[in-house]
Amino acid sequence: MLNINEQLNLDQPVNFDKATIKEITALIRERKVSCVELVHLYFEKIDAQQSLNAFISLDQAAAIEQAQFWDQYIAEGKPCPALIGVLVAVKDNIHVAGFVNTAGTPALAQFRPKATAPVIQALIDQGAIVVGKANMHELAFGVTGYNTAMHLEGVVGTRNATNPLHIAGGSSSGSAVAVAAGMVPIAMGTDTGASVRLPSALNGCMGFRPTLGRYAQIDITPISHSRDTAGPMAHSVSDIILIDQLISQQQITASIQTHPIRLGICTYFWENLDQDVQQQAHRALQLLKNAGIEIISVEMPELGHLNHHISFPVVIYEGKYDLIQYLENNQIGLSLEAVVDQISSPDVQQLFKQNILPELIADTTGESVSVGPLYQQALSEARPQLLALYQKTFQDHQLDALIFPTSPIVAPLANEHVSSIENFQRLIRNTDPGSNIGLPGLSLPIGCGEKSKLPVGLEIDGLPNTDHDILAIGQVLEQIFSSLNHR
């Protein structure tokens, strides 16, 4: 049987499982492959890996129709747009006209939005082809991707691209798996506290959370308007940069560092790591030091305390009222209570019924108290204090970024207990603080753990609106880490 490169008659072999935007668009521009051929190629990969539960809905016919349009466009001698023929998976809480937008929950299974979200339209306008809507933790309220509503018979939850006995992470689980498993070159997810960076780390691809507000949040099923953002996933930082430029309409100039890159290490992010994460992360740090990157130890003693006073109060309060507003604005014809009644995943059902609907949160004694005052306190006190702590730390130590393991642990085994509160708190521990103050964060793969053979990720976080700097530093780190990631 012919391999893919022989089928496509390519003289230079291309690894389509890890292909970048540059590689794919070059093949199309040089007429070595057609957009239609690429659609068939990637759908073969999707069909062969259905048991990973990466997608909720697919539309190969629509993808072929888009591909035929772009092939004709090229045949007419028109200039190729930036993403011509590049297939993209879209998390199923981001609206795409022609697809249902389930947000991973049964009550919304018939909701068909009329318009495409601006973050996706920006990619479609540049030639990207949407293959389908990617699976996710139900309503995006979780970080395992173990969704009991949306899955193949007998295989619950989106499964890890490296080892399907393990979880994919979430909530943008299908988006990360689709990229990491070679089903698509790029994907879009959303990130409230971890949900682009965490699954990217657990599956071995790049994931970027931009500064809050950098991308339009229109036509996206919400959790928290003060924390939510869309974010891209890909195989290379250059792909992330291009997607970011197309969505934000901001160009990243070639960054020339006049001083060595200075990365801060705060103890909070480096405690209680599992053995594989500890070993890989310290290997990566040694590579950085060998390359002349300055690693600076910093103290942020109030970080954990301040973060705790923001996370749950914000999500519980905004999680109710933002979703009510979304249902009304989109004329879905369902109350929030009706949506909650149909939630399938036990962890999400419990969160809505015990906390979000009644607006209750456990205090330090374990007693349930009204979340309203704690929410206001989070906005007026804890959040400004946490941002000030970051700003002072960066200023005092002249940091370009903080660096830390994206997840303290490799992907746990997939089972009915995996979405416990203990696992949630451990998986989200490192990504959450930056999310609470709207920081940009980039997760980069640093190979797999020796014992588990599962992917490990390292994240860099910058201050708000330093997205260009974080992505430029990411390109430097990507090269340094290349020996850890065998393409």
Catalytic pick among 34, 57, 133, 171: 171
Helix, strand, or coil here: 23? helix
Catalytic status, residue 171:
yes
Amino acid 112 reads R
- Rounded to an integer, what distance in angstroms lies between the CA atom of residue 158 and that of residue 168? 6
- Rounded to an integer, what distance in angstroms lies between the CA atom of residue 442 and that of residue 469? 11
Catalytic pick among 91, 173, 419, 443: 91
Catalytic pick among 34, 172, 195, 345: 195
- Rounded to an integer, what distance in angstroms lies between the CA atom of residue 445 and that of residue 455? 7
Helix (H) or strand (E) holding 200: helix 197-203
**Residues listed for the chain:** 487
Query: Under 8 Å CB-to-CB from 31, ≥6 apart: which residues?
Result: 74
Amino acid 365 reads T
Alpha-helix residue ranges (DSSP H) falling in 291-430 = 303-308, 311-329, 336-341, 346-351, 371-377, 383-397, 421-428
Half-sphere exposure of 302 (CA within 13 A, CB side): 14
- Rounded to an integer, what distance in angstroms lies between the CA atom of residue 102 and that of residue 353? 20
DSSP 8-state symbol, 94: B
Catalytic status, residue 195:
yes
Tokens for 316?
């519980």
- Rounded to an integer, what distance in angstroms lies between the CA atom of residue 141 and that of residue 350? 11
Residue-wise burial string across 150-168, b where 16 or more C-beta atoms lie within 10 A, e elsewhere: bbeeeebbbbbbbbbebbb
Helix, strand, or coil here: 434? helix
The set of catalytic residues is 91, 171, 195
